[in-house]
Amino acid sequence: MKKHIDSDEKKVKVSTLVYGILILFVVVLLVGSILAYGTNTEIGNKIAVKIAKVIPFPAAIIGWTNIVYINDVEKNMASVQKFYQTQDFAKEGLRIDFTTENGKKRLRIKEREILDKMVEDKIIEVLSKERGLSFGDKDAEKVVSQKLAEFGSAEDFKADLLKSYGWDVEEFKQRIVLPGIYADALASKIQAEELGGTASAKEKILQAQKDLEAGKEFVQVVRMYSQGPSREKDGELGWAKKDQVLPQLQEALFGKSSFQKNSIIESSIGFHIVEIENSKKENGEDILQLRQIFVSKDSFSDWLDTQKKQMKVSLPLAEFTWDSKKGMVDFRDEKMREFEAVERAKFQGDASIMF
């Protein structure tokens, strides 16, 4: 009889413990949800972030089933802050300061940008898979191997990742490489199958090339044929490092082979004739002063913007909203939207607005 009672007591204790754990989980979930989605205070956000490390709260939901998690947004935020802390922007005549009241607001701008980029990456992945494009670790590993070969030393590459972003190679693959593979593959497929305009753009750049070879001034040809923001500056692009130009231009401008004047370079966005006006070295790195004549193809970015505007995106976070007219993450608070617009218009060398 006593054994039977003891057994019943044990069952009661176990069930009480289970119920207690479930109740605690529900309370934590409720508190976390309120802090993550219902408040916009600094202390509330900090507590929500800690809870989000254990419970995967959504920061954005794309098409009902594709989710960007708060914890991943915070990890990317931490990496960006680490990047700013480890770079010497003073050498470039730039500054970075997140400690002031305005600095804290600029940090919120970085969070908005990061969330917007993560939503875009997820949308690109969704659109890619709808068109039969799917990639995984093996594809990412190939790209990482190429990067390691370019860097010269695997250990140096890993050390630089850790120092600049706090990432290991696996995090680099998931956060940078795979989204890049999806974006490049989708852009190529859409450009080849759904967008036109390449033939007319090529005809236009060939005519620009003929005019240059016939002796016309570069600026004159820019004004006749060029498109895009650089046209308003007579083609001037300013000083640029290798990683600041399009991948398709990197080899032509910074490669070991000699640069061919007036040559046409095709990129993912159009056709370029680039002229190197001057060059210098800083810390052993080549920096070129460039100007260009640019003729655009039908733009993948424009196509993607249209797709983003049509996509169902929900943002449960208190601070952000999805602007379907612009196809982007924006602040709910009008004052923050105005603050960002003003800061971008007068950035005055603030690196946090530029990068």
Q: Which of 13-17, 145-149, 216-220, 253-257 has the lowest mean pLDDT?
A: 13-17
Distance CA 329, CA 124 (A): 15
Q: Is the pLDDT of residue 69 over 80?
A: yes
Residue 352: predicted pLDDT: 60
Residue 127: predicted pLDDT: 96
Q: Is the pLDDT of residue 147 over 90?
A: no
96-132: pLDDT as tens digits: 778 888 888 989 999 999 999 999 999 999 999 999 9
Residue 15: predicted pLDDT: 59
Mean pLDDT of 295-307: 86
Distance CA 306, CA 288 (A): 35
Q: Is the pLDDT of residue 237 over 60?
A: yes
pLDDT band at 29 (very low <50, low <70, confident <90, very high): very low
**Block residue for tokens 């007219």:** 325
pLDDT band at 76 (very low <50, low <70, confident <90, very high): very high
**More confident position, 220 or 252:** 220
Residue 199: predicted pLDDT: 77
Domain residue ranges in the chain: 2-48, 69-195+319-355, 199-298
CATH topology of domain 199-298: Chitinase A; domain 3 (3.10.50)
Residue 225: predicted pLDDT: 92
Rg of the chain's alpha carbons, rounded to an integer? 26
**More confident position, 28 or 218:** 218
pLDDT band at 274 (very low <50, low <70, confident <90, very high): very high
Buried b (16+ CB within 10 A) or exposed e, 209-235: bebbeeeeebeebbeebbeeebbeeeb
Q: Is the pLDDT of residue 204 over 60?
A: yes
**More confident position, 235 or 41:** 235
